């Protein structure tokens, strides 16, 4: 990996080169970072500022980090920009999401291969026609991670929205009809889960030439009816986190087998680089 030229602390995440590994988990919730880091070897907190909470440790001897993004595209884009400047090049979003197909059971995992750009931030990077697609190797590694942990996982499309309550209570919004119609279209297109950061992260990653993917714990139902107590009992964050960790181990092994470290900006370091 090229040594980043930037030595001063990054403005929002308050991190400098050497503080994070090449591989970074991106949860939304700052309160989830310590829990995720507990799956690393030798985790330590390296910074906390605003919604950005960062821990670094190792997996298979490789430095890995977790940085929370806060909720939504704007703060997530800032996190990815600043982490990339200090040397990270592979990002895995982990978090919770809402079900968008009836055949999905609460507690299933969604591996987000593509994301609906139902948000504003990514338009500051690329026209809306550009697909928000995850890196193939990261996505296949997460699927292999799910095989190893035995988690029930689906590879598919996520809806990345800017309004949590627009999804959960669309009927009370002035644009209710539009929200209902578009939700129905996303379901018809086969979207599997609704969350708030993947599209921004994938488009920013494409623009920066880094790799990104995402895995979500899926809750609820497409019609917003409440979960039964049995369904709620299936929601297990530990399954999500163990699978995400296992997926990253698969990726680290694959990167090592491929002979190392694709540099950013080179052919095979691009977000969707050489096979």
- Which residues bind to another protein, rule: CB under 8 A? 113-118, 125-133, 136, 139-140, 143, 155, 157, 182, 185-186, 188-191, 199, 203, 206-207, 209, 266-267, 270-275
Instruction: Identify the three-state secondary structure at position 136.
Output: helix
Output the smallest distance, CB 129 to another protein, in A. 4
Cβ closest to another protein, residue 82 vs residue 137 = 137
Report the run of H or E that residue 205 belongs to, with start and end.
helix 198-208
How many other β-carbons are positioned within 10 Å of the β-carbon of residue 261?
A: 14
Cβ closest to another protein, residue 24 vs residue 115 = 115
Output the smallest distance, CB 55 to another protein, in A. 30
Output the smallest distance, CB 186 to another protein, in A. 7
**Distance between CA 132 and CA 137 in Å, rounded?**
15
Instruction: Identify the three-state secondary structure at position 118.
Output: strand
Cβ closest to another protein, residue 124 vs residue 256 = 124
How many other β-carbons are positioned within 10 Å of the β-carbon of residue 3?
A: 7
Output the smallest distance, CB 44 to another protein, in A. 34
Q: CB-based burial of residue 125 (10 Å sphere; 0-12 exposed, 13-18 middle, 19+ buried)?
A: middle
Sequence-distant (6+) residues with CB within 8 A of 103 are: none
Cβ closest to another protein, residue 92 vs residue 133 = 133
Cβ closest to another protein, residue 143 vs residue 249 = 143
Output the smallest distance, CB 40 to another protein, in A. 28
């Amino acid at each position: 990996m090229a040594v980043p030229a930037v030595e001063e602390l990054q403005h929002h995440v308050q991190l400098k080169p050497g503080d994070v590994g090449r591989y970074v988990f991106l949860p939304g919730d700052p309160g989830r970072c310590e829990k995720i880091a507990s799956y690393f070897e030798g985790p330590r907190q390296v910074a906390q500022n605003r919604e950005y909470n960062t821990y670094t440790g190792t997996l298979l001897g490789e430095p890995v980090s977790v940085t929370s993004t806060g909720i939504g595209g704007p703060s997530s884009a800032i996190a990815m920009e600043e982490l990339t400047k200090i040397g990270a090049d592979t990002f895995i979003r982990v978090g919770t999401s809402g079900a968008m197909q009836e055949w999905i059971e609460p507690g299933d995992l969604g591996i987000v291969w593509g994301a609906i750009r139902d948000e504003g931030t990514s338009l500051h990077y690329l026209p809306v026609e550009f697909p928000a697609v995850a890196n193939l190797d990261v996505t296949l590694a997460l699927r292999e991670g799910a095989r190893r942990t035995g988690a029930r996982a689906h590879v598919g499309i996520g809806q990345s929205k800017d309004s949590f309550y627009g999804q959960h209570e669309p009927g009370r919004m002035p644009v209710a009809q539009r929200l209902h119609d578009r939700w129905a279209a996303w379901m018809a297109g086969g979207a599997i889960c609704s969350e708030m950061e993947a599209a921004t992260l994938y488009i920013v990653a494409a623009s920066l030439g880094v790799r990104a993917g995402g895995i979500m714990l899926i809750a609820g139902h497409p019609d917003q009816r409440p979960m039964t107590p049995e369904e709620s009992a299936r929601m297990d964050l530990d399954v999500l986190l163990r699978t995400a960790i296992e997926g990253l181990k698969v990726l680290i092994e694959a990167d090592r087998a491929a002979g190392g470290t694709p540099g950013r900006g080179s052919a095979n370091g691009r977000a969707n680089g050489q096979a």
